[in-house]
Amino acid sequence: MNTPVNYRFSFGPWNISEGGDPFGPEVRPAFPHEEKYALYRPLGFEGVQFHDDDVVPGLDGLTPDSLLKQAVAVKTMLDNQGLTPEFVAPRLWFDPRTVDGGYTSNSAADRAYAWDRTKKAIDIARAIGCKAMVLWLSREGSYIREAKDARKRSMGCWRMIPKLKSGSSRNPMSLPIRPTFQPSATPSPWLMPPAIQSASKA
């Protein structure tokens, strides 16, 4: 007889609508995140998925101490609801400096920003007790072959992952790293190592 499997489920706070009609005006005020967290357990969910700025809005303009203070406040909210943070992902794709890839940008300054933002995401993950980081890489690479030196930029991206696993300057402990792709927005395959190409097609 097979042993029963106990599945646990999670979702991100962005999956609860902010209250705006996508083709019209706001239909209700946005729920504060603390109110959203109170809905998880009654709906059968135990885990919360995060972007870094879901935890700390406006983090680019904060000092390290202010950033961590806000992250700790969110951890308290999660603890109060009995919720587990599943992962934190640095949201690089909304910033003008990283819309054409942060880690694979042609601009050294933009790549430095992407790395600094990622280290902040590691600090946030540690502060809320999260044990994994997701890298959503679908803005990485290029949709125009002539735009970048594919080999140089892609190898720079993959060499960064061991640096990520060592953590940030404030939190040197390692984190599991989970690169992810979306089928509708996968970067050009010639920018991905063979193992990543295989994983993205699975």
The pLDDT assigned to 181 comes to: 54
CATH class of the domain whose range is 10-201:
alpha beta
pLDDT attached to residue 200:
38
Quick one: pLDDT at residue 199? 38
Position 21 scores a pLDDT of 81
Return the pLDDT at 165.
Answer: 61
Q: What is the DSSP code string of the chain?
A: -PPPP----EE-GGGS--SB-TTSSBSSPPPPHHHHHHHHHHHT--EEEEEHHHHSTTGGGS-HHHHHHHHHHHHHHHHHHT-EEEEEE---TTSTTTTT-STT-S-HHHHHHHHHHHHHHHHHHHHTT---EEEE-TTSS-SSGGGS-HHHHHHHHHHHHHHHHT--SS--S---EEEE--GGGPPPGGGS-HHHHHHHH-
Catalytic residue among 33, 51, 52, 100: 51
> Is 54 a known active-site residue?
yes
- Among candidate residues 53, 54, 100, 110, the one labeled active-site is 54
Q: What pLDDT does 189 receive?
A: 47
What's the pLDDT at 13? 92
pLDDT for the residue numbered 197: 39
- What pLDDT sits at residue 92? 87
Dump pLDDT digits (tens) for 12-37: 998 888 888 878 888 888 888 889 99
* The pLDDT value given to residue 140: 74
pLDDT under 50: residue ranges of the chain: 172, 183-202
